């Protein structure tokens, strides 16, 4: 019995000793591999578990020691002094397990070191028994041997080490997504909610596909012993900081992955503060100072000036036009025939007219920086893809809370439901597959953007971004469900669990649920959540309020046959979506757009608004026809009407426009819809004024005894044609100079308008004079206008026809305006208006929101609302490198990348710094770096880039589909310092894609462009310092919108330049045609400037933005202002009344009435009709702005200018006075002194008696009336 007891003691003694020594230094808890974990199914790597084996740590030597140094260098104590609790097999399995995790963290060597550190301690530490406690073992048969295998254990470590390791890894990024690597390693918590405990819990969860067994990590505060198993000492090694080098020589982590490594970067300067003076708005102060100065200048007394030089210019022009007019009136039919032939010859060119509708060609000059950058990008990377998008919502649907087995409670909005996802998939499939029956006429696969198979794409290769892509567009995947056990809880997991995981880990090829489905889209790329859903807050994707469905097509130049295929596909896309919207069974409320939508809607509304313009022109025509009539008697109404003359005037305008368009079509200058809409309106305003001045002057004139009809017409033309020439020449030169603009739309408009105005004047001097001669011949014969064979017996009265307006302005309006107090009030009011508008001018909003280009009721307006409301990121922006940078050198690659070893101020790092201030940089997501991806792909630790080890392909690239046994060799050897830099061929140019913040208006788009250019310039300057870089190397930003918004960076100086060029000829021509009358030219110029400034001020008040369309209208405003101002100025300058006030009254009455009837009343009816147009662009920039221009022109031309001339106008031209006195003396010998007829020209009328006054019926002075003298 003693022997038996002794034997039993020998048998049980080791177990007793081991059990007592299981948590002592130098002992292992498990050793060697026991086979697969029976609790796990299919995993990413084989779940090999260790054998339970309480034993002493083994010394490692030879190959075993070398492997320890490779996998767990932290345990190296020298070849003869290193002990471990892991075998060679265990080291290989550990290495395989660590490799997949390291691939995500590889950008930060210290993070990788810390991550491997703890797992090496748990698996191989010689003091393994002191830090772990086995909690579950199972019998596992391996190689026909059954052993106890460890399938779960507890690992104890201090919070100091855990926090240090976690902090070193928490900011490591995945360049391809711009997200954090830790988001993929923290399960349901993602990057934001991840903590050290949750991070280690995920690592120890065998369901993640990487851990071969369950590890329960216990984080213990340093110094705490309560609750610890006896003998357990929580591991408290030193975790490296991310800004430290590793013991193996790895460099510090980059700034992008480690905030501690970031240099001290000063924040960008704040936006410039508003301009102030003494704490008050500076522009307001300047305006007030101007107001006070101008008020001080006004003094209610006559301003004398020296007499003008001579009347040479006036006499010469009058004589030439008199002879010309007589000639034209003598041979009217020949003149009309020749004029018609010339117009037809020029107009024939319209057959080859090129109408520019492409917004890029219209608003961006080929030589502009944005246009050149776009052309460079498109030439090297193909044009930016075409976007076709649907944004879907389901308002009013009730959401629910889903308690996920893996991810905990999650809010699901009413939109994110299974039935709506299926409906979205049905709509997507309907759009995607509609073209099957059209014999490939417009097949999606022929034009779609297929990034992974561009040469021969199938439908599933097309880039379609949507939420169903997380299920690979498979209804079976959406309906899939399975029971799953987690931490002892069994529960069903379904599409919601998969969706939660994929929205937070879009790059995953397999989710962590037992569904085991991929998150990648069927075309092989990830769908980032901000491209699939919208209207969420704080990354709460499942609570999104909108689905986003996007079809991306390749973009082609317009003469490529595939461009028409893409346009046809988009047309059918719009039809399908519109039909679906009408379907009452649809549960969605949505907005949509196609790439062609903007151009389509602009063209559609233009076509729809053509009748509005036609009605506008018809209203103007009716007014002209009615207003030109004399109407002396009801019996002669058909004789004295001027219907055909008015029609002729309209035809003259139309012919001038046609001739201009035809001529420029001949020489290849394209036209545009803006030209078709604006130029006829402008020429009509200018032409109608000249027609009224000419016809009214003829009606107010009386034929002299012995004077022929043709001679009278010539004489009248000689009187008024210099004024007509003054305006027309000023406007034409103004527009020709405006063609110096770099903006294509403004340039072409100015060219077309200049020639049209010039042709209008030429045709008025020829065809219209001939037409008036024929009409005068008919009227003299008392023939009816439309019924030429019918005559009336009532004779034409032998007295001038002054109509209603002239007597009214002479008797009432002009005297009241020239009242002493009225003049002072007028000057004060208009000076106040000028100063106020000057202040408002600096507050005008620059830009043109794209919504305004759409007609009211357009589906695009709804789309823009959805876009601004639901999108969480803006447009992608590329930072493009031009040729001249050497990527092949280490320095060159370091200047671009953002991983370990890269320059702290590299290209991608600077973009990253900018995203830290999105409110100033307008960058939301940092740039993807293919350089970093390439480096990560080549890294031997990633198992991505492999070479065949043997066979016929030995040394060649081995695809991922090949067995690991055939491809053991890596593309590159592990670098000693952790910094991998491949040898590559030269690749220039290149691009790096980031994302803007959501941009909602043109001011934000313009600011984003400016900030991006500033950043690109900073990057350029830094990269030029790299040895081998060309001095002209450049980095520039590009996105599809820059080409439209660049104009707003320079449109203010561009506008000032264009308007200044237009103002110059108005001054010069006025001076020259008035015989070097500088004062008249200056007053003319000042009034026009006031009209333009006041117009911009009213634009600010009425919400009219300043942009290229507004600039075209402001240039037009200068031309129309010439009509309101120049006639009046010339009439005053040539008046011979004795005082300034009398001359102002005469000019206001005689010329003011013609200007009001010709310009104001011609424009206003047509402009008011435009208020009914559907296009917002026409309502704002043609109705509102032209109404403002016309009203301000009336106010300044008929109210302010006469008062201004009464104060500061030039003195009486004594040369004119002498000439008229001589003419009167001669006429007195020939005419009866008692006659009451008018003089040659009201503007030149004179009286030698200063005490005479206006009578009620004639322009004579009546001494019985009160004098009008200077106050």
pLDDT in tens, 357-391: 777 787 778 888 999 999 999 888 888 889 999 99
pLDDT tops 60 at residue 255: yes
* Alpha carbon distance 1163, 688 (integer Å): 9
pLDDT in tens, 655-673: 999 999 999 988 888 887 7
pLDDT tops 70 at residue 598: yes
pLDDT at 159: 94
pLDDT at 215: 93
pLDDT at 903: 84
Predicted confidence band at 452 (pLDDT cuts at 50, 70, 90)? confident
Show me where the domains of the chain are located.
Answer: 22-261, 384-595, 603-793+801-843+1049-1230, 871-1046
* Alpha carbon distance 424, 331 (integer Å): 76
* Alpha carbon distance 606, 362 (integer Å): 15
Mean pLDDT of 1167-1177: 78
* Alpha carbon distance 1142, 510 (integer Å): 94
pLDDT at 176: 53
- Which range, of 326-335, 365-374, 917-926, 950-959, averages the lowest pLDDT? 950-959
- Which range, of 305-309, 1100-1104, 1150-1154, averages the lowest pLDDT? 305-309
pLDDT tops 70 at residue 1219: no
SS3 assignment for 956-989: CEECCCCCCCCCCEECCCCCCCCCCCCCCCCCCC
**Both structure tokens of 843:** 């507050």
pLDDT tops 80 at residue 396: yes
Provide the mean pLDDT of the chain: 81
Mean pLDDT of 1211-1237: 53
Mean pLDDT of 495-521: 85
pLDDT tops 80 at residue 453: yes
Predicted confidence band at 942 (pLDDT cuts at 50, 70, 90)? low
User: pLDDT over 90 for what percent of the chain?
Assistant: 27
Of the CA atoms within 13 Å of residue 223, those in its CB half-sphere come to 0
pLDDT tops 60 at residue 4: no
- Which range, of 202-206, 423-427, 1210-1214, averages the lowest pLDDT? 1210-1214
**Both structure tokens of 248:** 């193996």
Torsion angle of the four alpha carbons 88, 94, 98, 100, in this order, in degrees rounded to the nearest 10: 100
Is there a contact between 746 and 1115 (Cβ–Cβ < 8 Å)? yes
Closest by Cα among 1069, 1095, 1270 to 1195: 1095
Is there a contact between 512 and 209 (Cβ–Cβ < 8 Å)? yes
pLDDT in tens, 822-837: 998 998 899 888 888 8
Closest by Cα among 1255, 1265, 1242 to 1136: 1242
pLDDT tops 50 at residue 1185: yes
Cα 1084 from chain centroid (whole Å): 40
Mean pLDDT of 411-417: 93
pLDDT at 117: 93
> Measured between alpha carbons, how far is residue 469 from residues 313, 422, 424, 777 in Å?
80, 12, 11, 82
Mean pLDDT of 6-16: 33
Highest mean pLDDT among 13-22, 401-410, 975-984, 1060-1069 belongs to 401-410
* Alpha carbon distance 251, 261 (integer Å): 11
pLDDT tops 70 at residue 797: no
pLDDT in tens, 78-119: 888 999 999 999 999 898 888 777 777 877 889 989 999 999
For residue 833, what is the enclosing H or E element?
helix 820-841
Q: How far apart are the first and last CA of the chain?
A: 150
pLDDT in tens, 875-910: 899 999 998 888 878 888 888 887 777 888 889 889
* Alpha carbon distance 125, 155 (integer Å): 12
What does the DSSP 8-state code read for residue 732?
H
pLDDT tops 70 at residue 3: no
- Which residue's entry shows tokens 């064979």? 789
- Which residue's entry shows tokens 């996105």? 1039
Q: Largest alpha-carbon pair distance within the chain? A: 174
Higher pLDDT, 1006 or 179: 1006
Q: What angle do CA 564, 566, 570 make, to 5 degrees?
A: 115
pLDDT at 949: 84
Mean pLDDT of 618-645: 73
Higher pLDDT, 16 or 465: 465
Closest by Cα among 454, 445, 452, 468 to 390: 468
pLDDT at 432: 77
**Both structure tokens of 602:** 């602009």
- Which range, of 669-683, 1021-1035, 1175-1189, 1231-1245, averages the lowest pLDDT? 1231-1245
Torsion angle of the four alpha carbons 855, 859, 860, 863, in this order, in degrees rounded to the nearest 10: 150
Rg for the chain (alpha carbons), in Å? 44
Mean pLDDT of 832-844: 87
Is there a contact between 494 and 470 (Cβ–Cβ < 8 Å)? no
Count Cβ atoms below 10 Å from residue 212 Cβ, excluding itself: 23
Predicted confidence band at 1074 (pLDDT cuts at 50, 70, 90)? low
Cα 864 from chain centroid (whole Å): 12
- Which residue's entry shows tokens 């233009």? 606
The three-class DSSP label of residue 86 is coil
Predicted confidence band at 19 (pLDDT cuts at 50, 70, 90)? very low
pLDDT at 29: 93
pLDDT tops 80 at residue 1065: no
For residue 552, report the phi and psi dihedrals to the nearest 5 degrees. Answer: -105, 125
Predicted confidence band at 64 (pLDDT cuts at 50, 70, 90)? very high
pLDDT at 33: 92
pLDDT tops 50 at residue 1269: no
Is there a contact between 1104 and 1186 (Cβ–Cβ < 8 Å)? no
pLDDT at 1220: 57
């Amino acid at each position: 019995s003693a022997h038996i007891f002794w034997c039993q003691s020998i048998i049980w003694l080791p177990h007793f000793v081991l059990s007592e020594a299981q948590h002592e230094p130098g002992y292992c808890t498990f050793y060697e591999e026991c086979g697969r974990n029976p609790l796990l199914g299919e995993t990413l790597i084989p779940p090999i578990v260790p054998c339970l084996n309480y034993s002493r740590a083994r010394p490692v030597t030879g190959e075993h020691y070398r492997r320890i140094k490779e996998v767990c260098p932290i345990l190296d104590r020298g070849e003869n002094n290193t002990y471990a609790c892991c075998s060679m097999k265990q080291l290989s399995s550990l290495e395989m397990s660590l490799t997949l995790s390291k691939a995500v963290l590889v950008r930060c060597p210290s993070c990788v070191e810390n991550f491997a550190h703890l797992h090496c301690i748990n698996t191989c530490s010689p003091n393994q028994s002191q830090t772990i406690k086995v909690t579950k073992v199972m019998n596992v048969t391996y190689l026909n041997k059954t052993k106890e295998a460890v399938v779960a254990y507890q690992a104890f470590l201090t919070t100091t080490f855990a926090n240090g390791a976690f902090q070193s890894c928490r900011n490591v990024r995945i360049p391809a997504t711009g997200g954090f690597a830790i988001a993929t390693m923290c399960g349901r918590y993602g990057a934001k909610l991840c903590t050290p405990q949750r991070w280690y819990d995920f690592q120890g969860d065998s369901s993640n596909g990487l851990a071969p067994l369950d590890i329960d990590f216990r984080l213990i505060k340093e110094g705490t012993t309560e609750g610890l198993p006896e003998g357990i000492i929580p591991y408290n090694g030193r975790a490296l900081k991310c800004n430290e080098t590793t013991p193996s020589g790895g460099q510090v982590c980059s700034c992008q992955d480690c905030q501690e490594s970031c240099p001290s970067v000063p924040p960008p300067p704040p936006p410039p503060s508003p301009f102030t003076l003494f704490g008050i708005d500076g522009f307001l102060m300047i305006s007030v100072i101007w107001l006070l100065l101008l008020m001080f200048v006004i003094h209610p007394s006559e301003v004398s000036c020296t007499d003008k030089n001579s009347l040479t210019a006036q006499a010469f022009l009058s004589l030439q036009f008199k002879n010309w007019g007589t000639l034209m009136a003598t041979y009217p039919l020949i003149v009309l025939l020749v004029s018609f032939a010339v117009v037809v010859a020029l107009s024939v060119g319209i057959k080859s007219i090129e109408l520019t509708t492409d917004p890029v060609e219209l608003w961006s000059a080929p030589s502009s920086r944005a246009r050149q950058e776009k052309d460079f990008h498109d030439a090297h990377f193909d044009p930016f893809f075409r976007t076709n998008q649907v944004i879907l919502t389901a308002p009013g649907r009730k959401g629910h809370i889903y308690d996920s087995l893996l991810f905990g409670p999650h809010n699901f909005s009413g939109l994110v439901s299974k039935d709506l996802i299926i409906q979205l998939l049905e709509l997507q499939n309907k759009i995607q597959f509609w073209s099957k029956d059209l014999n490939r006429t417009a097949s999606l696969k022929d034009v779609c953007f297929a990034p992974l198979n561009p040469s021969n794409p199938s439908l599933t290769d097309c880039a379609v971004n949507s939420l169903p892509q997380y299920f690979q567009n498979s209804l079976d995947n959406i309906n899939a469900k399975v029971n799953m056990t987690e931490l002892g809880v069994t529960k069903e997991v379904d599409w919601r669990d998969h969706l939660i995981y994929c929205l937070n880990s879009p790059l995953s090829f397999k989710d962590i649920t037992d569904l085991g489905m991929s998150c990648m889209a069927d075309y092989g790329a990830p769908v980032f959540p901000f491209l699939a859903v919208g209207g969420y807050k704080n990354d709460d994707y499942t609570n999104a309020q909108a689905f986003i469905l996007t079809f991306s097509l390749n973009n082609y130049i317009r003469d490529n046959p595939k461009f028409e295929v893409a346009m046809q596909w988009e047309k059918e896309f719009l039809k399908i979506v519109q039909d679906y919207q009408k379907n009452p069974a649809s549960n969605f409320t949505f907005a949509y757009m196609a790439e062609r939508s903007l151009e389509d809607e602009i063209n559609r509304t233009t076509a729809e608004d053509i009748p509005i313009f036609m009605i506008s022109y018809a209203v103007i025509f009716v007014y002209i026809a009615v207003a030109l009539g004399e109407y002396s008697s009801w019996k002669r109404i058909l004789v004295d009407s001027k219907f055909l003359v008015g029609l002729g005037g309209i035809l003259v305008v139309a012919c001038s426009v046609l001739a201009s368009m035809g001529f420029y079509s001949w020489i290849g200058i394209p036209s545009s819809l803006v030209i078709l809409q604006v130029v006829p309106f402008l020429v009509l305003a200018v032409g109608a004024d000249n027609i009224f001045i000419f016809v009214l002057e003829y009606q107010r004139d009386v034929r002299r005894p012995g004077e022929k009809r043709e001679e009278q017409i010539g004489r009248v033309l000689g009187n008024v044609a210099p004024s007509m020439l003054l305006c027309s020449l000023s406007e034409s030169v103004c527009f020709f100079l405006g063609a110096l603009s770099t903006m294509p739309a403004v340039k072409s408009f100015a060219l077309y308008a200049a020639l049209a105005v010039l042709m209008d004047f030429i045709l008025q001097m020829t065809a219209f004079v001939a037409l008036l001669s024929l009409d005068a011949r008919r009227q003299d014969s008392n023939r009816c206008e439309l019924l030429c064979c019918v005559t009336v017996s009532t004779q034409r009265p032998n007295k001038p026809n002054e109509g209603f307006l002239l007597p009214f302005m002479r008797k009432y309006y002009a005297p009241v305006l020239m009242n002493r107090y009225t003049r002072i009030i007028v000057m004060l009011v208009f000076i106040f208006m000028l100063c106020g508008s000057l202040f408002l001018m600096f507050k005008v909003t620059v830009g043109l929101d794209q919504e305004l280009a759409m007609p009211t009721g357009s589906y695009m307006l709804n789309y823009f609302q959805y876009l601004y409301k639901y999108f969480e990121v803006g447009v992608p922006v590329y930072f493009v490198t031009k040729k001249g940078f050497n990527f092949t050198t280490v320095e060159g690659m370091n200047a671009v990348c953002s991983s370990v070893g890269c320059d702290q101020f590299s290209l991608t790092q600077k973009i990253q710094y900018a995203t830290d201030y999105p409110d100033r940089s307008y960058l939301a997501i940092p740039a993807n770096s293919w350089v970093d991806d390439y480096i990560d792909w080549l890294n031997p630790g990633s198992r991505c880039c492999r070479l065949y080890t043997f066979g016929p392909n030995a040394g060649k690239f081995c695809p991922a589909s090949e067995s690991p046994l055939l491809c053991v060799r890596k593309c590159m050897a592990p670098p000693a310092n952790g910094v991998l830099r491949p040898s590559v061929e030269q690749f220039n140019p290149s691009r790096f894609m980031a994302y803007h913040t959501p941009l909602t208006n043109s001011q934000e788009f313009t600011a984003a462009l400016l900030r991006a250019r500033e950043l690109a310039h900073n990057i350029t300057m830094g990269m030029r310092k790299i040895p081998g870089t060309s001095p002209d190397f450049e980095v520039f930003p590009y996105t599809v919108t820059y080409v439209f918004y660049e104009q707003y960076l320079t449109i203010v100086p561009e506008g000032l330049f264009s308007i200044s060029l237009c103002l110059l000829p108005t001054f010069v021509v006025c001076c020259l045609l008035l015989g070097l009358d500088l004062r008249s030219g200056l007053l003319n110029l000042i009034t026009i400037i006031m009209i333009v400034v006041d117009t911009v001020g009213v634009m600010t008040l009425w919400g009219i933005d300043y942009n290229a369309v507004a600039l075209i209208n402001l240039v037009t405003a200068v031309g129309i202002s010439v009509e309101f101002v120049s006639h009046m100025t010339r009439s005053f300058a040539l008046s011979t009344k004795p005082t300034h006030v009398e001359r102002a009254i005469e000019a206001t009455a005689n010329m003011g009435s013609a200007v009001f009837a010709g310009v104001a009343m011609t424009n206003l009816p047509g402009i008011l009709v435009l208020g009914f147009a559907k296009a917002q662009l026409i309502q704002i920039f043609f109705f509102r702005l032209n109404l403002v221009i016309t009203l301000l022109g009336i106010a300044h031309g008929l109210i302010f200018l006469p008062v201004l001339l009464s104060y500061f106008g030039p003195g009486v031209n004594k040369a004119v006075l002498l000439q008229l006195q001589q003419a009167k003396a001669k006429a007195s010998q020939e005419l009866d002194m008692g006659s009451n007829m008018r003089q040659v020209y009201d503007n030149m009328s004179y009286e030698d008696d200063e005490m005479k006054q206006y009578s009620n019926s004639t322009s004579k002075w009546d001494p019985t009336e009160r004098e009008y003298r200077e106050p």
